[in-house]
Chain A
Amino acid sequence: MTYIPISPKERDAMLEAIGVKSLDDLFEDVPARHRFPKLNLPPALTEMEAMNELSGLAQSNENVRSDLISFLGAGMYNHYIPSVVDHILRRGEFYTAYTPYQPEISQGTLQAIFEYQSLMVALTGMDVSNASHYDGATATAEAVSLAYAQFRSKRKKVVISPTVHPQYRAVIRTYVQGMELELAGDDPNADLDSQPDELTSLIDDNTSLLIVQYPDFFGRVYDYTKLIEAAHAKGALVCVVANPTALALFKTPGSMGADVVVGDGQPLGIPMWYGGPSVGFFTTRKNFVHKMAGRLVGETIDNRGQRAYVLTLTAREQHIKRERATSNICTNQGLIALGTAVYLSLLGKKGLRQVAELCYQKAHYAAAQLSQIDGMGLCFTEPFFHEFALCVNRPVEEVNAHLLEHGILGGYDLGQDYPALKDHMLVAVTEMNSKEDIDTLVQVLSEVSHD
């Protein structure tokens, strides 16, 4: 099956117009000894066969909607997605358009991104947002680049809280390989109880950026205002990696004084999709707008006096600045950003707060019940949002295998990343978990504890 709309007769007429005899004649510049390799790939499938094959693969997975009850989060969350979101994303006018370089015929995409930027600003309490990054982790890495550029590469240290998502920290380590930067605080053996104050002592005059997570990787919610003040006193910038659902309930990083607020937009109406694509949001203060990577949509007018939108400040970008650009980013996550904008428009002021409160209530009910099980307990006492670290007092892998037998996807094994949290799992609860789901989890875990 191909999608080529040219008949053999038309092909021959076109070859004649070109002045060659066959399709193969078009490739004489290709070295003859390597031309037309025989590709060892399976023969073509029809649409019906392809649908069968892909359905088979999909069905061999156990999914968290019909097969498993999920308490797994750790950076990607199972939230309800209203039908409208995907109906809009399936509009060919949106998903088969390119980057809006021709504003006269791209106003749909441009206005949608402009609104996405506005919604992200509203959520984070910051001044400006770009059109998005690949995901939360790469958005965080771009914050490092922003701070590095802000201090003209002179401040060589970045302090990262060990309670930032382990994979985000790993991505930052990858991104800075060409930068001669020292990463401080990125230590899984650090004292996790004394966070975040312990970070203050690491910040010095050579520090360009402090990165903290909100809620942190263990779900804990801190007011970072004092920490941010301390960082600012040393002249450093502060990046807060935020969960966007939590921002409907908790005070904004903007109001705490953060300079950059980033995060992953997946909880805002985007399916988990085995890890992607999601969208990384990136918001900052107006004075850093010229240092911010990525695309930006701005408001203007057309020659008929109509309000219109256009990609702006493109002089910062790689296709103009080439090797002097601070980032090579070219695409944003356009379609996924649109999905989050539709989700936020639909849930609005009340709906998103309601989702956040449901997550909070259900997570706290689960935590209260689970901590009553003999030999189990909450690891931390600080306020939390919809995730918490639970001590299960035996290997998490073993516990999760048992849960799986009962159709439950257990929490993330924290011992993988933090030696001190061996036998601890990170439990995530969202509005998708009913009281019955939670009670089942409690019951099965009680059996485990009595084994």
Chain B
Amino acid sequence: MIRDASSTEQANTVPPLSATNVKIVEPTIFDLSSPGRIGVTMPASDVPTTALPPKELLRSELPLPELAEVDVVRHYMHLSKFNYSVDSGFYPLGSCTMKYNPKINEDTCRLPGFLHTHPLQPIETVQGNLVLMYTLQEWLKEIGGFAAVTLQPAAGAHGEFTGVLIMRAYHKSRGDAKRVKMIIPTSAHGTNPASVGMMGLQVVQVPSDERGNVDLKALEAACDDTVVGMMLTNPNTLGLFDENIEKVIKLVHRCGGLMYGDGANLNALLGIVRPGDLGFDLMHFNLHKTFSVPHGGGGPGVGPVGVAAHLADFLPEPLVGIVEDGDNDTPPLYGFVTPAKSIGRMKAFHGHFGGGFVRSYTYIAMHGPDGLKDIAQYAVLNANYLLAKLRDTYRVPFDRICMHEFVAEGRFEGSDVRALDIAKRLIDYNFHPPTNYFPLIVHEALMIEPTETENKDTLDAFAEALIKIAEEARTQPDLLHNAPSATQFGTIVDEVKAARELVLCCWLPDNYDANA
């Protein structure tokens, strides 16, 4: 099945794309394979040989590539150069908080004591891990203003799912079975309604008012005794702190609903305000956004959930707790505890310990309370500075002091240039584009989040590029339509082709019917 020059079947299995004389920039790892090459030699067996099980139980062919170590290293080095990254440049991707990831985190998370511990070891042998997890739980409680925290969820969306399960379990435990509706603003991340959908609950959408806040009238109309709660991102996806946040929460609480915070935008609030103090009953943290766990090209994320006291009993099991008190001579013994009415387990083992908890612990420890506040203040400073430089060139539909990000419109009167064209043209100026077409409530949205780890020169250069692009949109719109043109890869013209032909691996499944 593999594309292998020595294979006679090859002619039948090469994807049809090759027939169009496609230029190949970097062969796949399967293309590079040459029979007989070896990348790693394992030691010979040092035990007496046992016969293998009967042939019927064994596989006859293992169709993996064969390469030498240098082949593998060069291949992945070549691939790495095709990527834009925070280490190489400005990445103002709204709602994603693409901040610089400190290098020390890469070293602390790889300390052998963390790297090579098994999740089922006796707790006495992993007190270092458990102290770290316990402390991180405590710190997140303090930062968010919550009574308890689970570190288990693997990503923001996983945290949301955890949160919805907790909300449902809370109402159920009170015999309140009629609550089936979740209120979600039209500006919400797609994961919010999807998390609700997974639980078989209904979504009730509420719009924003003319200042970008939750429309209080619409919210009041939606609030009744069938409401599970409300899921709200604050600052919202327009980058605005809801001016009526306490009223919003009061309305939801008054009808017996719970207030869920989507912590995607927590970077703007560190040391500024604690969501728990505002009345949020629960919230997920995104350690990969706010607390510098690198995004890894799409994961792993880390999505702990904090809850107020009345929800603590419903958290996933297990949590880290003190299982034996210490005294003057001995430290306490840390171990696992199960909340009384736990919703259950969200994933195997204890969550993203190495890649997540250790990095975030390092980051919080190095910032302290004042450093955390600096993060939020400078993230908000940078966003407002860019807003000030761009508002005369790009229309900003909800224009007031923003938090860590803002949303501009990527369109101009009398021009056919769209947000996507502007985004692609930014690539020619060596900037990663902002998030576009989100939130859905702004036409041709360009959502810009600079983060606190960019200097003034970068922000000036970025603003200058966007102003220049606006001029190009008037004078040479084709420059934008055809962008990017200065990159190794051109426009991916054919997303339709990808979806229609569905070539999802280095060879085509036998008898694949593209039209099925």
Contacts and interface: CB of A to CB of B under 8 A. Distances in A.
B11 interface: no
A47 B104 contact: yes
Contacts of B343: 174, 177
Given A94-B80, A118-B30, A134-B154, 11 more contacts: A62-B117, A63-B112, A94-B297, A109-B79, A111-B82, A114-B506, A286-B512, A305-B20, A310-B495, A351-B40, A434-B46
A274 B504 contact: no
Interface stretch (B160-168, B322-330, B410-418): B160-168
A23 B62 CA distance: 61
B197 A323 contact: yes
Of A59, A84, A412, the most chain B CB neighbours within 10 A belong to: A84
A61 B128 contact: yes
A107 B375 contact: no
A97 B84 contact: yes
B73 A54 contact: no
B57 A57 contact: no
B347 A289 contact: no
Interface stretch (B214-222, B252-260, B353-361, B470-478): B353-361
A201 interface: no
Nearest to B510: A127
Contact of A286 (B64, B156, B203, B509): B509
Contacts, number: 711
Given A68-B125, A118-B505, A57 B512 contact: no
Interface in A5-23: 5-6, 10-11, 13-15, 17-20, 23
**Chain B interface: which size bin?**
35 or more
B190 A320 contact: yes
Contact of A55 (B111, B119, B345): B111
| Majority-rule SS of B interface residues | loop
> Which 3 residue pairs are nearest across A and B when measured between Cβ atoms?
A275-B349, A58-B113, A273-B354
Contacts of A297: 504
Contact of B294 (A27, A95, A100): A95
**Chain A interface: which size bin?**
35 or more
Interface string A201-237: 0000000000000000000010100000000000000
B515 interface: no
A50 B108 contact: yes
Given A17-B388, A336-B300, A248 B154 contact: no
A360 B58 contact: no
A61 B139 contact: no
Contacts of B33: 348
A280 to B, nearest CB: 9
Nearest to B292: A3
Contact of B154 (A18, A250, A277, A320): A277
A317 to B, nearest CB: 8
A35 B456 contact: no
A1 B29 contact: no
Interface string A227-253: 000000000000000000001111110
A348 B38 contact: yes
B385 A18 contact: yes
B341 interface: no
Interface in B9-42: 15, 17, 20-26, 28-30, 33, 37-42
Given A37-B271, A404-B125, A106 B84 contact: yes
A98 B91 contact: yes
Contacts of A317: 190
Interface in B142-188: 142-143, 145, 154-158, 160-161, 165, 168
Contact of A29 (B243, B361, B370): B243
